Amino acid sequence: MNEGDILLRIEEKLKLLLKRTQQLEEERATLQQTIAIQQKILEEKENAIQEMERHSALLKIAGSGQREETPEEKRFLRQQINAYIREIDRCMALLNN
């Protein structure tokens, strides 16, 4: 094998390597787009879950006067009311500054 043949083989392997590198970069870009889309979907679902949890909590609070609550329900309601009071206090402190 002479030097010319060796150089041709190296050149062919380099071209294959560059082609594969380009393919991998394109695949990476596609995967990054997919990840971004999935993250947005996940964020939307998490927001929907939080909204449903808030709605559920409000329904529990609204229906609490219609029947006798269990100790767990009373504890939950007390925690919710305390959380609302803390949030109101935090907002008032921000307004006063």
pTM: 0.52
Token pair, residue 37, equals 């889309």
CA distance 69 to 71: 6
Same structural domain, 47 and 74: no
78 and 54 part of one domain = no
Domains held by the chain: number: 2
Identify the domain containing residue 74 by its residue range: 68-97
Confidence of residue 79 (pLDDT cuts 50, 70, 90): confident
Alpha-helix runs per DSSP H in the chain: 3-62, 71-96
Given CA atoms 16, 17, 20, 26 in this order, what sign does their dihedral have?
Answer: negative
**Among 12-21, 56-65, 67-76, 84-93, which range has the highest average pLDDT?**
12-21
Same structural domain for residues 55 and 93? no
Can you list the pairs that 27-32 forms with residues at least 24 positions away whose Cβ atoms lie under 8 Å?
Answer: none
* pLDDT(24) > 90: yes
Pair 58, 77 in one domain: no
| pLDDT number for residue 65 | 59
Q: Based on the fold, state whether residues 44 and 77 are members of the same structural domain.
A: no
Spatial separation of the C-alpha atoms in residues 84 and 92, rounded to whole Å = 12
89's CB contacts (< 8 A; 6+ apart) are none
Specify the pLDDT at position 26.
Answer: 97
Q: What is the pLDDT of residue 9?
A: 93
Residue 64 has pLDDT above 70, yes or no: no
Give the per-residue pLDDT at 5.
87
What pLDDT does 35 receive? 94
| pLDDT(33) > 80 | yes
